[in-house]
A = this chain, B = another copy of it.
Amino acid sequence: MTSSSGSEPRFIGIDLSGLVLRASIVNNSGQIEERRKVKIVADQLVTQVTQVVSELRGLNSNIEAVGIAIPGLVSRQTDRVVASRDFPLTVREDLHAEFMTATGARVEIENDANAAAYGEYKVGAGRGSRDMFYITIGVGIGGAIILDGKLWTGASGFAGEFGHITIDTEGIECDCGNMGCLETVASGPSIVRRANERLYRDGTSSLSRLAINKNFTADDVAHEANNGDDFSMMMIERTGKYIGTGVAIVLNLLNIERVVLGGGVMDAGELILNPIIQEARRRAFQPCFEATQIHAAKLGADAASIGVAMLARDAAA
């Protein structure tokens, strides 16, 4: 089962986003050799991480470090979580110290979007670029910046908050306290909200039968769009335009060489990628648009665990 035969170093990458613990043994080339997936029980977080690390270490004696990707703002200065919607309690704890003690390993913690960005940069859709902007669109919208091969996390570790670009100054209130953030219109739950609003107002769509029970998801919208439902296609296209407006802002501010888009909402494929690229072209300075490549992410749900394992590896260098 295991491939621990080589004496090459291995790294454990743990991704805590989406309330699921995904743990992997990652080799020096960024390939996953073992996986574990556990549903998170919030007040058992440290125990759950410790157990899975212990189990994976039992499989491979060359584990050199553990990387943990957390959905939340992680301060570079203190290695502490300063805000987390999914794990609000972690703000009061020194998770980094707890994990070090509990696992007995060298531990790096990082924001999940930063971790996924690093994964895509090293072994996914960012390969071959020097500078990259990463965007993840799912339940929330995150982002991360890589400049000259390194995560650029800003003065205190919070750079890359793409989801909180103001897209509509008079828009609806966002969890972050601002109004009209991109996240309020283009995240998975926002797509569902917008679709529901429209479905109850007008139109017929294959979503309607799901909407009657109010239980469809952004995945359903993407699925129906891919099946040719006009309304669902329109919803996905609009979402792409919102995201493309944000991408144009990033291109004008950073003149960045590559943009990589991942997260569940990007599973809609070209139906969303094309309007993103079109809107970015329409709104960005032409020379900034021409200097960039806009790609879909390649690593899917593995991006953050691979990335945070690579970050744990490179932190020692």
Binding site for B on A (CB under 8 A): 73, 75, 82-83, 131, 143, 145, 147, 152-162, 164-169, 176-179, 245, 248-250, 252-257, 282-288, 291-292
Contact = CB atoms under 8 A, between A and B. Distances in A.
Contact of A158 (B73, B248, B291): B291
A158 B256 CA distance: 9
Q: Which 4 A-B pairs have the closest CB atoms?
A: A154-B255, A161-B252, A159-B255, A155-B257
A176 B252 CA distance: 11
A293 to B, nearest CB: 10
Nearest to A242: B169
Contact of A165 (B145, B253, B286): B253
A253 B160 contact: yes
B252 A287 contact: no
Given A73-B285, A178-B282, A285-B164, A158 B245 contact: no
A255 B74 CA distance: 12
B161 A248 contact: no
A126 B83 CA distance: 29
12 contacts: A82-B287, A131-B154, A156-B288, A158-B252, A158-B285, A159-B255, A160-B255, A161-B252, A166-B167, A178-B248, A178-B283, A253-B254
